[in-house]
């Protein structure tokens, strides 16, 4: 059994050293999966906010004229490009969000497998990032995070916890690095979600006092997003993601407010971007920051 857990952390395939033909084949497979799952993410982003089943048989159709989209036009990314973004029946524009989501998901898979090689961890991370894409877009549109999506990340957390049960060491690019322990994950779950909860409560009370309506500064959805993501990433990367998310949201918020005069906007998309950056480059960025700014004179 121990061998099994150990096997989980040996890269199943080191892309760097693999046979060139195999590498090309694997990347083609990654691109295929990235686009196909990206296409499914579009279905989720469109249907979850209107409470429509994401597995129900409702063939893709034009949102303007209702015409069914033919199989050959329904190929992720390329279908939209070949149609030049217009419906074949009515010529009305098809949202560029569809190919953007598909391309983004595909790109994220390529980056993840290039950095982490092909192993259970990189596969879990890809599912995590895909869920973050759905959460980010839906939150942007509706300012709500579906509990079902947070539940799915929690399910991925359980898989991650089960996989590190016996093996505490992971091989990543030939370097043995310590895997995240269960205690580390549990601290990760609370280290940002608790402060977010408190800030949300206090700001809610403050806004109620000032304006009479109860609006939380940080929504519960964002709080739970940091809880389930903390279980996935451990405390160090979660703290980093929390701060990065706040900085990204603050910078974009100031610009957004200047342009639209609107002060309320979704926090989730910024947290999603920050969690993605932190998961893949957080340790490197933290090391860089510590070496650059926290070096004490000898
Ligand atoms: Zn149409």
User: What does the pLDDT look like over 3-46, one tens digit per residue?
Assistant: 544 545 555 677 777 788 888 999 999 999 999 999 999 999 99
Ligand 1 center to 47 CA (angstroms): 19
Ligand 1 center to 88 CA (angstroms): 7
242 pLDDT above the threshold of 60? yes
Q: Is the pTM of this model over 0.85?
A: yes
Ligand 1 center to 60 CA (angstroms): 11
**Quick one: pLDDT at residue 260?**
83
Residue 139 corresponds to which tokens in the numbers above? 């939150």
Cβ-contact 199, 217 below 8 angstroms: yes
Contact partners, residue 285, CB within 8 Å, separation at least 6? 240, 277, 278
Residue 172 corresponds to which tokens in the numbers above? 């990543």
Beta-bridged to residue 171, according to DSSP, are 176
Tens digits of per-residue pLDDT, 56-84? 777 778 888 888 888 888 888 888 988 88
200 pLDDT above the threshold of 70? yes
Classify the C-alpha dihedral 194-197-203-208 as positive or negative: negative
Ligand 1 center to 20 CA (angstroms): 43
Mean pLDDT, rounded, for 104-112: 97
Q: Which stretch of 13-27, 39-53, 163-177, 202-216 has the lowest confidence by average pLDDT?
A: 163-177
Ligand 1 center to 63 CA (angstroms): 7
Ligand 1 center to 98 CA (angstroms): 15
Mean pLDDT, rounded, for 245-255: 93
């Amino acid at each position: 059994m121990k061998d099994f857990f150990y096997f989980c952390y040996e890269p199943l395939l080191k892309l760097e050293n693999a046979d060139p033909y195999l590498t090309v084949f694997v990347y083609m497979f990654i691109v295929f999966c990235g686009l196909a799952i990206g296409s499914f993410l579009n279905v989720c982003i469109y249907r979850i906010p209107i409470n429509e089943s994401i597995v129900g048989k409702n063939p893709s159709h034009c949102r303007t004229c209702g015409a069914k989209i033919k199989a050959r036009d329904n190929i992720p990314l390329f279908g939209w490009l070949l149609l030049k973004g217009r419906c074949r029946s009515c010529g009305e524009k098809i949202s560029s969000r569809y190919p953007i989501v598909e391309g983004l998901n595909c790109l994220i898979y390529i980056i993840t497998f290039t950095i982490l090689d092909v192993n259970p961890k990189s596969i879990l991370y890809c599912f995590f990032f895909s869920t973050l894409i759905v959460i980010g877009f839906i939150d942007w549109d509706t300012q709500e995070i579906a509990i079902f999506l947070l539940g799915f990340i929690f399910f991925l957390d359980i898989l991650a916890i089960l996989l590190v049960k016996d093996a505490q060491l992971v091989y990543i690019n030939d370097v043995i690095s310590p895997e995240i322990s269960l205690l580390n994950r549990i601290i990760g779950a609370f280290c940002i979600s608790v402060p977010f909860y408190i800030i949300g409560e206090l700001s809610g009370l403050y806004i109620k006092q000032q304006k009479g309506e109860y609006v939380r500064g940080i929504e519960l959805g964002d709080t739970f997003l940091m809880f389930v993501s903390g279980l996935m990433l451990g405390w160090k990367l979660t703290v980093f993601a929390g701060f990065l998310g706040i900085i990204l949201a603050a910078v974009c918020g100031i610009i957004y407010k200047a342009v639209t005069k609107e002060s309320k906007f979704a926090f989730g998309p910024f947290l999603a971007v920050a969690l993605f950056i932190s998961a893949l480059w957080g340790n490197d960025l933290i090391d860089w920051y510590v070496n650059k700014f926290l070096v004490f004179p000898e």
